[in-house]
Each structure stands twice: as structure tokens, then as C-alpha cells.
Amino acid sequence: MKYNPNKPLSSYHTKRFASLSSAQQGKSITEEELKKANDIGRKNELEAIDKIKNKEWKEKEIEMLKKTVKNVKTDRSQWFD
């Protein structure tokens, strides 16, 4: 799996990083910290879903414009008259 720095972390990964962080400090993770990490992850997942929906809408909008706009030069050979 490729790392994408623009994608927010899921709830699984936020909980995992929170537990690793507390383990490095020599502590065990509390239920409150785990719940907070889960909430942050859920919020991030919703943001990712919204981005995907917006991207799909943009693609549909582009397809609609391609059907309605005439005389669009799409081939490089058409650039020079």
C-alpha cells in the first residue's frame, strides 16, 4: 500500500499510533485516550468520504461539459491551424 500524505488517518490508524506513542513513553493507553483517538479517526474518515464525493461530482460535471461544449481542441494537431 502506498503512503498518501494528503489522506487523513482512519480510526484504526489513529488508535494504533496513539497506543504506540503511549507505549514508547512507558505508559499504557487509557480508555479516554482510546476513545478520543477513535473520534478523531471517525472525523477523518468522514472528511475522506466527502473529498471522494466531491471528486466524483467534479468528474461528472466535466463529462457533462464535454457533451455540451462544441469545437474543443483536444488533439495536439488541432492547436496549430
User: Does residue 61 fall inside a structural domain?
Assistant: no
* Residue 29 domain-assigned (yes or no): yes
11 part of a folded domain: yes
How many domains are contained in the chain?
1
**Residue 79 falls within a domain, yes or no?**
no
Q: 35 lies in a domain? A: yes
Q: pLDDT tens across 30-78, in order?
A: 999 999 999 999 999 998 888 878 777 777 777 777 777 666 666 666 5
In degrees rounded to 5, what are phi and psi of residue 35?
Answer: -65, -40
In a domain, 13, yes or no: yes
- 8 or 15: whose pLDDT is higher? 15
Q: Which grid coordinates belong to 15?
A: 488508535
Range of the domain at 23: 7-48
Q: Tell whether the model's pLDDT for residue 8 goes beyond 70.
A: yes
In sequence order, what are the residues at sequence separation of 6 or more whose Cβ sits closer than 8 angstroms to the Cβ of residue 13?
A: 41
64-73 CB contacts, 8 Å cutoff, 24+ apart: none
17 domain residue, yes or no: yes
Does residue 55 fall inside a structural domain?
no
